């Protein structure tokens, strides 16, 4: 009896502490879920998990595996996406699940996402044309790097060894993380390729605001090896990219946009850019999902004070600035300018909540608004732009009012028009995903 008590008591204590911990975790998860629903932050921005409640055993392995923390939680002993907008598609939850109860999907029942159809080798429905990186739905830098490398490996394996005279082995369109990785892999494979980009080397990262922290994860970069970044500034990451480009003699043809693609895998493709035409055996598209900046379509938008990205907040010193948009780019631009303290800053967003932005950016907005350093106009739309003012319509239920604010600069961060029409034009099948893989 004494022995039973001696050994049984610690077990009872352990089980009691375990139960208390589980109850606390469940309570926290329910609170996160209720908060997200109340704020209407329920639409994941990218690839995200869907959990099968029948298969899920509530072990919490997926919750612990997520690098973003507080994205998944346990509610009623089942894993639930409690902070959908914080999910950025790592996929660590699916890998960790011992029951195979998690499927990674794009879009939701209420919000479709256009995704090009590609094979496991990254080849599209048009033989000889490949897609890697963000355009295919993978937004993380690590994923983009890995896909660029794998796509070029696939291209190299399938290419006939006999080269056609004067024809490139492959043209890489886009010089972001995926395109740079593919270019380095092509060099390591001894392929004859060129890389073009409609803007500059670095892709989306090059256009982040100064000082923006970039979340990434360890990755393998061809010719370089392991890259072990976690959270670094935009400038540090760009400096790293430029060093890689210099040391490996990578040639990027900047300010050269893709215009058209014709031909086929049998006779070769003709790629027409804004500068010239190329003959190539294969094509790899790593152009991202930003596409052409989405415009407001209002009177006065052509004025020189309207820009579609912010590079340096210092350039808006002493300005009356309006930032339009509700994603991370918009919030970071508005906060970066407001935090300098020498401008008046207003942010206008058409929806009721910043559902697409990271929590730390939403917290920055709330802090700056409470400090009186920023005006936040939700459920609002720009209706007219003049030389020194901007008109904004604000909607509250059935009530509408138009206000006029003094204005000397406007930054539109309304996303991009995806290249879906172009992809369809050249024959690539595009599927709208509504919560499917």
Please tell me whether residues 119 and 83 are part of one structural domain.
Answer: no
User: What is the 3-state secondary structure of the chain?
Assistant: CHHHHHHHHHHHHHHHHHHHHHHHHHHHHHHHHHHHHHCCCCCCCCCEEEECCCCCCCCCHHHHHCCCCCCEEEECCEEEECCHHHCCCCCHHHHHCCCCCEEEEECCCCCCEEEECECCCCEECCCCEEECHHHHCCCCHHHHHHHHHHHHHHHHHHCCCCCCCCCEEEEEECCCHHHHHHHHHHHHHCCCEEEECCCCCCHHHHHCCCCCEEECCCEEECCCEEECCCEEEHHHHHHHHHHHHHHCCCCEECCCCEEEEEEECCCEEEEEECCCEEEEEEEEECCCCCCEECCCCCECCCCCCEECCCCCHHHHCCCEEEEECCCHHHHHHHHHHHCCCCCEEEEECCCCCCCCCCHHHHHHHHHHHHCCCCEEECCEEEEEECCCEEEEEEEECCEEEEEEEECCEEEECCCEECCHHHHHHCCCCEEEECCEC
Do 240 and 122 sit in the same domain of this protein? yes
Please answer whether residues 111 and 104 qualify as being in contact, where contact means their C-beta atoms are separated by less than 8 angstroms: no
State pTM to two decimals.
Answer: 0.71
Angle at 47 between CA 45 and CA 53, to 5 degrees: 105
The structure tokens listed for 396 are 């509250």
In a domain, 100, yes or no: yes
Cα–Cα distance for residue pair 259/198, rounded to 1 Å: 10
Name the one residue in this structure whose structure tokens are 């031909």. Answer: 263
In this structure, the answer to whether residues 131 and 272 fall within a common structural domain is yes
Q: Both 90 and 204 in a single domain? A: no
Which domain-ending residue is among 53, 85, 105? 105
Considering its fold, how many domains does the chain have in total? Answer: 3
* Nearest by Cα to 71 from 88, 46, 95, 96: 88
- Domain shared by 235 and 359, yes or no: no
pLDDT tens series, the chain, 437 aa: 445 545 556 666 656 665 666 667 667 777 777 776 666 667 776 788 999 999 999 999 999 988 777 889 998 889 999 888 778 777 889 989 999 999 988 888 777 888 899 999 999 999 999 999 888 776 677 788 889 999 999 999 999 887 777 899 999 999 988 999 999 999 999 999 999 998 888 877 776 666 666 656 678 889 998 887 767 777 888 888 899 999 999 999 998 999 999 999 999 999 999 999 999 999 999 987 766 778 899 999 999 999 888 878 998 999 999 999 998 889 999 999 999 999 999 999 999 988 878 788 999 999 999 999 999 999 999 999 999 999 999 998 889 999 999 999 999 998 777 788 899 999 999 988 887 76
| 224 shares a domain with 127 | yes
Assess if residue 19 is contained within a domain.
no
Same domain, 252 and 335: no
Q: Are residues 324 and 266 in the same domain?
A: no
Residue 15 lies in a domain: no
Mark whether 38 and 145 lie in a shared domain.
Answer: no
CATH number at residue 86: 3.30.70.20
Of 376, 381, 377, whose CA–CA distance to 299 is shortest? 381
| pLDDT on residue 209 | 61
Residues 29 and 137 in one domain: no
| Shared domain check, 260 and 226 | yes
CA nearest neighbour of 263 among 287, 235, 283, 234: 283
Range of the domain at 332: 293-415
Look at residue 196 and tell me if it is in a domain: yes
Handedness of CA 62, 65, 71, 77 (dihedral sign): positive
| Residue 8 domain flag | no
Same domain, 281 and 305: no
Residue 7 falls inside a structural domain: no
Could you give the dihedral angle defined by the CA atoms of residues 66, 67, 73 and 78, in that order, rounded to the nearest 10 degrees? Answer: 10
**CATH assignment of the domain containing 249:** 3.50.50.60
Tell the burial category of 400 from Cβ atoms under 10 Å away from its Cβ (0-12, 13-18, 19+). exposed
Residue 11 lies in a domain: no
């Amino acid at each position: 009896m004494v022995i039973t008590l001696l050994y049984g008591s610690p077990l009872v204590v352990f089980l009691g502490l375990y139960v208390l911990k589980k109850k606390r975790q469940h309570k926290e998860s329910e609170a996160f879920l209720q908060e997200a629903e109340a704020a209407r932050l329920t639409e994941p921005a990218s690839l995200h998990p869907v959990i099968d409640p029948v298969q899920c055993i509530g072990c919490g392995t997926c919750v612990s595996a997520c690098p973003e923390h507080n994205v998944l939680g346990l509610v009623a002993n089942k894993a639930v996406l409690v902070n959908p907008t914080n999910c950025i598609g790592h996929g660590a939850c699916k890998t960790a699940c011992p029951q195979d109860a998690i499927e990674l999907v794009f879009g939701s029942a209420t919000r479709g996402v256009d995704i090009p159809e590609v094979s496991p080798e990254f080849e599209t429905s048009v033989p000889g044309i490949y897609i890697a990186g963000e355009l295919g739905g993978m937004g993380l830098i690590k994923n983009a790097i890995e896909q660029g490398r794998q796509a070029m490996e696939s291209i190299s394996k399938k290419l006939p060894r006999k080269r056609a005279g004067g024809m490139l082995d492959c043209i890489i369109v886009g010089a972001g993380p995926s395109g740079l990785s593919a270019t380095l892999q092509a060099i390591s494979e001894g392929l004859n390729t060129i890389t073009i980009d409609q803007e500059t080397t670095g892709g989306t990262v090059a256009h982040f605001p100064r000082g923006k922290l970039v979340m990434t994860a360890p990755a393998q970069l061809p010719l370089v090896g392991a890259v072990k970044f976690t959270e670094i500034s935009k400038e540090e990451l760009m400096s790293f990219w430029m060093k890689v480009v210099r040391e490996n003699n990578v040639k990027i043809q900047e300010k050269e946009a893709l215009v058209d693609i014709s031909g086929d895998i049998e006779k070769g493709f003709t790629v027409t850019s804004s500068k010239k035409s190329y003959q190539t055996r294969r094509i790899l598209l790593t152009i991202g999902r930003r596409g052409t900046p989405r415009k407001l379509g209002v009177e006065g938008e052509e004025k020189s004070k309207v820009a579609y990205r912010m590079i340096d907040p210092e350039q808006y010193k002493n300005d009356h600035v309006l930032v339009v948009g509700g994603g991370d780019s918009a919030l970071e631009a508005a906060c970066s300018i407001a935090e300098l303290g020498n401008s008046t800053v207003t942010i206008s967003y058409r929806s009721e909540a910043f559902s697409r932005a990271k929590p730390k950016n939403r917290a920055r907005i709330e802090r700056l608004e409470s400090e009186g350093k920023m005006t936040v106009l939700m459920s609002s739309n720009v209706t007219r732009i003049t030389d020194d003012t901007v008109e904004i319509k604000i909607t509250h239920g059935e009530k509408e009012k138009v206000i006029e604010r003094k204005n000397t600069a406007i930054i539109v961060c309304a996303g991009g028009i995806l290249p879906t029409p172009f992809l369809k034009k050249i024959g690539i099948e595009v599927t709208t995903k509504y919560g499917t893989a």
